Amino acid sequence: MTQKTLDDLFHDTLKDIYYAERKILKTLPKMARGAQDPKLKAAFEKHKDETEGQVERLQQIFEMIGKRPRAKTCPAIDGIIDEGEEILEEFKGTPALDAGLLAAAQAVEHYEISRYGTLRAWAQQLGHRDAVTLLNATLEEESDTDDALTKLAETAVNAAASKKAA
């Protein structure tokens, strides 16, 4: 059995998040169509555009490390997305739908923040300076998206769901 290195782990995790981002890219339009609140719909559409750029950055990082962009199935993101799709079906047309979609979106963001933070630290350790810059840009976008979703939940979506439910 060959010894695995941090380089191997970095590459493996890069394949994981590449899969996740591509899966998220396919899911965001469904979430935008399902959202009832116009601001939430707009947030999903904005994040779809950002995600396209994030996929491109990942492709650049693969190139930087001399690897072909390849995805590795990520059961964690599959599960989070499945939960979001379940909310979309089970709460369709109800006051709680947007709150559920927003919560599912934040679960995705938290997964991405965790992955990108780890990848950035490893890239720094491995001396991949250009990759650090790209990963940091994505990490900042993901954090900003999470902050915007939190603000939207606290200022509109959760209140609308609870008022209609009362």
What CATH number is associated with residue 80? 1.20.1260.10
pTM: 0.94
Is 134 within the bounds of a domain? yes
Q: How would you write the pLDDT of the chain (166 residues) with one tens digit per residue? A: 889 999 999 999 999 999 999 999 999 999 999 999 999 999 999 999 999 999 999 999 999 999 999 999 999 999 999 999 999 999 998 989 999 999 999 999 999 999 999 999 999 999 999 999 999 999 999 999 999 999 999 999 999 898 755 5
Is 31 within the bounds of a domain? yes
Is 110 within the bounds of a domain? yes
Could you list the residue range(s) of the whole structural domain that residue 70 is in?
6-165
Nearest-CA neighbor of 147 among 97, 119, 93, 109?
109
Is 1 within the bounds of a domain? no
Provide the domain count of the chain.
1
Nearest-CA neighbor of 51 among 73, 75, 81, 20?
20
Is 153 within the bounds of a domain? yes
Is 75 within the bounds of a domain? yes
